[in-house]
Amino acid sequence: MSGASVVLVALGGALGACARFVITHCLVAAGAPGWTGTLVANLLGAALCGVLAGLWLQRHGSGWRWRDDRWKRESFAVGGFCGGLTTLSALADDAAVLWRSGSTGTAFADLALHGIIGCCVCALGFLLARRWIRMRHCAA
């Protein structure tokens, strides 16, 4: 790991956090409840992570590797951008606010949506990336 890799992850994280902020702000400005911004950002991040995992598997044939500078783009995209875009702390805060306000059912629904649908969109992103790769290889 080099200093350049750390800077790339930090830059990706900053961009992801800014994207999460913009998503939440736009949804709230459109009249959606504040917790929906976290949900949308987390689901987008999960889907993107799935797509990147599918592309990574095709390129490298194995799981994530963070060992050296050959993985700078992946570190920037997954560890940085997706890590900054998605957030457990915002999810926990949203659920706690809903719980304290008496919206217990919405709090549990929010947690379930993040967990269940998040895993599903990650898997879907992975499958779409794999299909795209296969279609590209068949066309060549």
Task: Supply the pTM of this predicted model.
Answer: 0.77
What pLDDT digit, counting tens, does each position of 60-116 carry? 665 555 455 556 777 788 888 988 998 887 788 888 888 888 999 999 999 998 889
Predicted pLDDT of residue 94: 85
| Local confidence band at 3 (pLDDT 50, 70, 90 cut-offs) | confident
What pLDDT digit, counting tens, does each position of 21-60 carry? 999 999 999 999 988 999 999 999 999 988 887 777 776 6
Q: How far apart are CA 128 and CA 12, in angstroms?
A: 23
Tell me: pLDDT of 17 over 90.
yes
Tell me: pLDDT of 1 over 70.
no
Q: Output the six-digit token pair for 69.
A: 């500078």
CB of 96 closer than 8 Å to CB of 27? no
CB of 75 closer than 8 Å to CB of 9? yes
How far is residue 87 from each of residues 68, 79, 97, 99, 116, measured CA to CA in Å? Answer: 26, 12, 16, 19, 16
* H or E segment and range at residue 17: helix 3-29
Predicted pLDDT of residue 102: 92
